[in-house]
Structure 1
Amino acid sequence: MNNLREQAFYEPGVRRHIEIPDMSLLEMFKQSVRKYPNQPALISKGQNWSYKEMDQAVEGLALALSLRGIKFGDRVSIDMPNSPQWVISFFALMRLGCIVVQTNPLYVENELRAQLSDAQATAIISIPQLLSRLQAIQQEVGLEYIIIDGLIASGMRGSDNILDLGQLIQEERGCEEAPWPQINAALDPAVLQYTGGTTGISKGVMLSHTNLVANALQIWEWIHGKEGKEKILIVLPLFHIYALSVGMNLAILSGSAMILLPKFDPEEVLNQIKNERPTLFPGAPTMYVALINHPRIKEYDLSSLRACISGSAPLPIEVAFKFGELTGGRLVEGYGLSEASPVTHINPLTRLKVGSIGVAVPNTNAKIVDLATGKQVLDPNEVGELVVSGPQVMLGYWQKNEETQAVLRNGWLHTGDLAKMDEQGYVYIVDRKKDMIISGGYNIYPREVEEILYKHPSIQEVACAGIPDSYWGEKIKAYIVIKEGWGISQEEIQSFLKGELAAFKIPKEIEFRDSLPRTAVGKVLRRFLIEEEKEKLRLLNSI
């Protein structure tokens, strides 16, 4: 695509091309320790850790793990909510040249078993509440160590292979230190980021040190922040690539402070903004929906926020407008995927186009190609598949060559997202290729219908999906969460849509629900809704 055209819409001072150094995540961390030893690195539950204090903890844990045989190239999982110990564990593993396996603490035994077995993980770092779950699969998946944060404090007993994280960090070793790893930043994986599995079998995305350092640099160039001065509010779970890059790695790169919260609670988020005065807040659309619907949001001073970047799921246009009206904060939508570390596009902070994911970040190219061959570049405003290239694009899928070749073709990552690009280079996501509904021969994009439904004043959240139908093949169904105190019928919703959408796009069924099934970062599990419908149909046919 025309890079000069795209750069015309960058913020002043943001460069189209930046230098990506040959640097590992470990070197990135040590660089900030040298530059900002006394600056706050971690803020959690009223406690502050400076970069120097964090480094001491990292070194202590790395040595303790090394003495127990954990070494370069080993896959080690971190399986716990956001905390200073999460970040310390991550960089202790980087200190040894290990590969961090990202797992979700909400996973049940079957999900953990599948990912840990696939990754061939040798150890896992977790919390007391999950110990029994991990012990149940320990032998089967080959975990040599289970390391628990707060094991002793919770009244549990350790053993040779069940260890207390805090004790490991504080072990006395004199002047001894862990061996230094020889990391090839471009070729050595730093993270196995398992895809969410919302569209099929979960795959381990291999992200190199260069991939992750590059993406942190790209985001930092975009934000144009002040080194050593920013404070980033991290509520999104760090096991998700969005929080890892736009939260933790961005903070480490820039010598910024991380304000860590273990879960999203609107009241707590508003209080943290009031008390800690963060400047950056990466979040998910569901978080912004909850904040704008908080009954006392106008009582909170949110003026410290310089930028809020929405990712992990589409940001409804009405939510973006409402957030700006209520808070005065700048909320812009970005876009990424695990396979790209994840960020490829962000809206310029003062030249945004609401409803767009923005333009490609520095050192990144994007184009829209035809769905049939994936080779023909389409004209502006034509819908096709978004493909991207850049230094943040993954090495490939862990032990899955065929799947890797299917999405990495001739240097381009095929995202699986349907999109269009306007004449100025701004990209608009239409929907997932796999989410597109074909009803009676017509193509329907769920997101288009959702955007219209969000305009209705009674609707808080909505998801649309294609469900099986004997006549239409598929029919569109809307799942709606109504705002508290409102009441509305299916007929009223359908009547509202008649003036907004072609008849074939109007949902033939509407279900009112208390909540929608979501991933940990707020992405609606459409597949879960569809499976629900298939099960209902199966039970009906069995009667």
Structure 2
Amino acid sequence: MTQQPWLKEYPAEVPHSYDYPKHNLACFLEEAAAEYPNTIALEFLGKKITYDELLSQSRCFANALLDLGVRKGDRVAVMLPNCPQAVIAYFGILMTGGVVVMTNPLYVPRELEHQLADSGSRIIVTLDLLLNRVRQATAKRPLERIIVTSIRDYLPFPKNVLYGLKQKKDGTAVKVGYDEQVLSFGELLGRHPAVPVLAEVDAERELALVQYTGGTTGLAKGVMLTHYNLVANTIQTRLWCYRTDNGKERMLAALPFFHVFGLTVLLNLGVYAANTLVLLPRFEVDQVLKTIHKKKPTQFPGAPTMYIAIINHPEVRKYDFSSINFCISGAAPLPLYVQERFEELTGGKLIEGYGLTEASPVTHANNIWERRKNGSIGIPFPDTEARFVDPDTFEDVPIGQIGELAIRGPQVMQGYWNRPDETAKVLRDGWLLTGDLGKIDEEGYCYIVDRRKDVIIAGGYNVYPREVEEVLYEHPDIEEASVAGVPDPYRGETVKAFIVLRSGAARDKEALERWCREKLAAYKVPKQIEFRDTLPKTMSGKVLRRKLIEEEDGSSGGQ
């Protein structure tokens, strides 16, 4: 598509193009601290940190990393929930010119082992509660250093004391044995100066982040995102949110920073705009409701499951949501009834966007305050081009017809870490083939109708069927297994396993669930298990996953 009809749909305040700075991503923090030093950057369960304090602590951590031998291009993993330490570590690594590897704290050792080994991470920053898991994952390939912190380290008095007492009562207290390999996050900050550190980078070529995403192969791939990719996508998002004021917004950070959506639309955007980030270590609907009521956030980016949990809460009417100006929903399709109900409750706007890890991640969004089209993913961001193409010929399909969405823009990744063959499959002449099927209308609004990939999006998390199947196949009682996503009113999709047992094996669903929980993060564990005598297959013996899904939703006459 040579024309860009969507530009006519842009609000007058949003430019079609922008000159994105080519600098280290950590410049966002330096600039925010210079202009808004006393503005609260982070609120964490009562603890407040200003931009000046955040900059100082990030510099202390950067100097600590330099003292440990970290240099430009070295990978450093961060395995933390949303807490001040995650932000300090993130910017400290960037300041050294190191590459951040954001890691999901829900990962089990098997998943973590692959990510750390594949990325070649030298150091990991993690919680005391996760230390044993990290040790298991690094038994074969030890890391140079494990930097350990605790949630209580950044809790205000008396919460820090109460947290420690609760851990002792629950039996969850962890005694960390510090040595030359295992270091204390707080001790490192305390003995290193806040001397300015900012590595000069070739922003368009040098990496800021290796963000892992899966694929139908079951092996997670590292997406290589440069400083320029992330700077550009942050500014594109800020341009879209034109009715906001730098230094004045309050952003509820319930989306995890280890997910690229949360990383860009909360952490990077929040710091770029010198906003206050109200951090929640995890999404718990009661805590979110109380936080909105008390802390009065103006923005609340999230996944559809978050908004579904809120609108269905039995006591939702007790809480005041009037502070919310707008929310951008991503990570999964947003049901229309959820959008309408949430807007009714808050008086604010809830709009759907679209993106993928390979694009930093945001490429499309509906207008927040101007015209939007429900059911669409909206229109492309500034400097972003979109086409729907025939996946075989790469030629444009006619308007209104189904094709594969291809994206080109400054936010598109360099490629997959150490996987040139995989990169070549999805990048063509600067265009990123997304694997998503959809269409565009005459005005440039885009619609996603299906995915070429078999990825299951459960509660905003990507689940890759092959990975779950491999775990099931390791079970001695299982002869055949296939995993697919089936509709779920809360999670959007949920994971279902179709299993053929070996002769004489017992149909024990609970035992299979326990097996999976030992080897997979909780959100990947099948929530439904169906035992079958056979699985539908092609002539060549390949299981027809689509046939299973059709049977599940009754479109082929039921089971």
- Return the TM-score normalized by structure 2: 0.78
Q: What is aligned with 2:127?
A: 127
Q: What is aligned with 2:376?
A: 356
Query: In structure 1, how many angstroms separate the alpha carbons of the residues matched to 2:265 and 2:489?
Result: 29
Query: In structure 2, how many angstroms separate the alpha carbons of the residues matched to 1:243 and 1:261?
Result: 12
Question: Equivalent of 1:218, from 236, 255, 258?
Answer: 236
Deviations 1:472-507 (A, max 9, x none): xx9999554599xxxxxxxxxxxxxxxxxxxxxxxx
**In the superposition, relative to structure 1, how do residues 282 and 481 fare at CA in structure 2: closer, same or farther (>3 Å)?**
closer
Q: Is residue 5 from structure 1 mapped to residue 8 from structure 2 by the alignment?
A: no
The answer as to whether partners of 1:23 and 1:209 remain within 8 angstroms in 2 is: yes
Most deviating of 352-361 and 164-173 = 164-173
**In the superposition, relative to structure 1, how do residues 179 and 278 fare at CA in structure 2: closer, same or farther (>3 Å)?**
closer
1:202 partner amino acid? A
Aligned CA RMSD, in angstroms, stands at 3.2
2:382 partner amino acid? P
Query: In structure 2, how many angstroms separate the alpha carbons of the residues matched to 1:222 and 1:179?
Result: 31
Q: Is residue 241 from structure 1 mapped to residue 260 from structure 2 by the alignment?
A: yes
Q: What is aligned with 1:204?
A: 222
The answer as to whether partners of 1:199 and 1:434 remain within 8 angstroms in 2 is: no
**In the superposition, relative to structure 1, how do residues 167 and 412 fare at CA in structure 2: closer, same or farther (>3 Å)?**
same
**In the superposition, relative to structure 1, how do residues 400 and 536 fare at CA in structure 2: closer, same or farther (>3 Å)?**
farther
**In the superposition, relative to structure 1, how do residues 165 and 269 fare at CA in structure 2: closer, same or farther (>3 Å)?**
same
- SS at structure 2 position matched to 1:117: helix
- SS at structure 2 position matched to 1:69: coil
**In the superposition, relative to structure 1, how do residues 31 and 132 fare at CA in structure 2: closer, same or farther (>3 Å)?**
same
Question: Equivalent of 1:383, from 402, 405, 408?
Answer: 402
The structure whose RCO (Cα within 8 Å, separation 6+) is larger is 2
Question: Equivalent of 1:408, from 418, 427, 442?
Answer: 427
* C-alpha displacement of 1:328: 2.2
1:114-513 mapped onto 2 (5 Å cutoff): 114-150=114-150, 154-173=174-193, 177=195, 180-197=198-215, 200-224=218-242, 225-349=244-368, 350-373=370-393, 375-435=394-454, 478-480=486-488
Query: In structure 1, how many angstroms separate the alpha carbons of the residues matched to 2:128 and 2:484?
Result: 44
The answer as to whether partners of 1:385 and 1:417 remain within 8 angstroms in 2 is: yes
Q: What is aligned with 1:45?
A: 45
Most deviating of 63-72 and 153-162 = 153-162
- The unaligned stretches of length 5 or more in structure 2 are 154-163, 165-173, 470-481, 492-512, 536-559
**In the superposition, relative to structure 1, how do residues 480 and 52 fare at CA in structure 2: closer, same or farther (>3 Å)?**
closer
Query: In structure 1, how many angstroms separate the alpha carbons of the residues matched to 2:127 and 2:378?
Result: 39
Query: In structure 1, how many angstroms separate the alpha carbons of the residues matched to 2:74 and 2:94?
Result: 11
Most deviating of 14-23 and 106-115 = 14-23
Q: What is aligned with 2:476?
A: none
Query: In structure 2, how many angstroms separate the alpha carbons of the residues matched to 1:205 and 1:476?
Result: 24
* C-alpha displacement of 1:11: 2.2
**In the superposition, relative to structure 1, how do residues 475 and 528 fare at CA in structure 2: closer, same or farther (>3 Å)?**
closer
**In the superposition, relative to structure 1, how do residues 44 and 243 fare at CA in structure 2: closer, same or farther (>3 Å)?**
same
* C-alpha displacement of 1:157: 2.5
The answer as to whether partners of 2:321 and 2:345 remain within 8 angstroms in 1 is: no
- SS at structure 1 position matched to 2:55: helix
Q: Is residue 68 from structure 1 mapped to residue 87 from structure 2 by the alignment?
A: no
**In the superposition, relative to structure 1, how do residues 409 and 329 fare at CA in structure 2: closer, same or farther (>3 Å)?**
same
Deviations 1:367-412 (A, max 9, x none): 1111332x22111211110000000000110000010011000110
The answer as to whether partners of 2:62 and 2:197 remain within 8 angstroms in 1 is: no
Query: In structure 1, how many angstroms separate the alpha carbons of the residues matched to 2:249 and 2:216?
Result: 34
The answer as to whether partners of 2:75 and 2:99 remain within 8 angstroms in 1 is: yes
Deviations 1:141-177 (A, max 9, x none): 230000111399854231111011111111154xx84
- SS at structure 2 position matched to 1:132: helix
Query: In structure 2, how many angstroms separate the alpha carbons of the residues matched to 1:524 and 1:383?
Result: 31
2:63 partner amino acid? L
* C-alpha displacement of 1:537: 4.7
* C-alpha displacement of 1:322: 2.1
Q: What is aligned with 2:552?
A: none
- SS at structure 1 position matched to 2:140: helix
- SS at structure 1 position matched to 2:375: coil
Query: In structure 1, how many angstroms separate the alpha carbons of the residues matched to 2:48 and 2:198?
Result: 28
- SS at structure 2 position matched to 1:25: coil
The answer as to whether partners of 1:57 and 1:170 remain within 8 angstroms in 2 is: no
**In the superposition, relative to structure 1, how do residues 482 and 147 fare at CA in structure 2: closer, same or farther (>3 Å)?**
closer
* C-alpha displacement of 1:324: 2.0
Deviations 1:214-233 (A, max 9, x none): 00000000001211111111
- SS at structure 2 position matched to 1:141: coil
Query: In structure 1, how many angstroms separate the alpha carbons of the residues matched to 2:400 and 2:2?
Result: 15
Q: What is aligned with 1:505?
A: none
- SS at structure 2 position matched to 1:295: coil
Query: In structure 1, how many angstroms separate the alpha carbons of the residues matched to 2:247 and 2:522?
Result: 32
* C-alpha displacement of 1:35: 1.1
**In the superposition, relative to structure 1, how do residues 145 and 10 fare at CA in structure 2: closer, same or farther (>3 Å)?**
same
**In the superposition, relative to structure 1, how do residues 4 and 476 fare at CA in structure 2: closer, same or farther (>3 Å)?**
closer
**In the superposition, relative to structure 1, how do residues 178 and 304 fare at CA in structure 2: closer, same or farther (>3 Å)?**
closer
* C-alpha displacement of 1:212: 0.2
* C-alpha displacement of 1:44: 0.7
The answer as to whether partners of 1:333 and 1:347 remain within 8 angstroms in 2 is: yes
**In the superposition, relative to structure 1, how do residues 523 and 256 fare at CA in structure 2: closer, same or farther (>3 Å)?**
farther
1:68 partner amino acid? L
The answer as to whether partners of 1:79 and 1:105 remain within 8 angstroms in 2 is: yes
The answer as to whether partners of 1:81 and 1:238 remain within 8 angstroms in 2 is: yes
1:109 partner amino acid? P
- SS at structure 2 position matched to 1:233: strand
Deviations 1:259-282 (A, max 9, x none): 110111112111111221111111
Q: Is residue 96 from structure 1 mapped to residue 116 from structure 2 by the alignment?
A: no
* C-alpha displacement of 1:118: 0.2
Most deviating of 192-201 and 390-399 = 192-201
1:245 partner amino acid? T
- SS at structure 1 position matched to 2:10: coil
- SS at structure 2 position matched to 1:116: helix
**In the superposition, relative to structure 1, how do residues 94 and 475 fare at CA in structure 2: closer, same or farther (>3 Å)?**
closer
1:377 partner amino acid? D
2:241 partner amino acid? I
**In the superposition, relative to structure 1, how do residues 478 and 95 fare at CA in structure 2: closer, same or farther (>3 Å)?**
closer
- The unaligned stretches of length 5 or more in structure 1 are 437-445, 451-462, 469-473, 484-514, 539-543
* C-alpha displacement of 1:181: 2.0
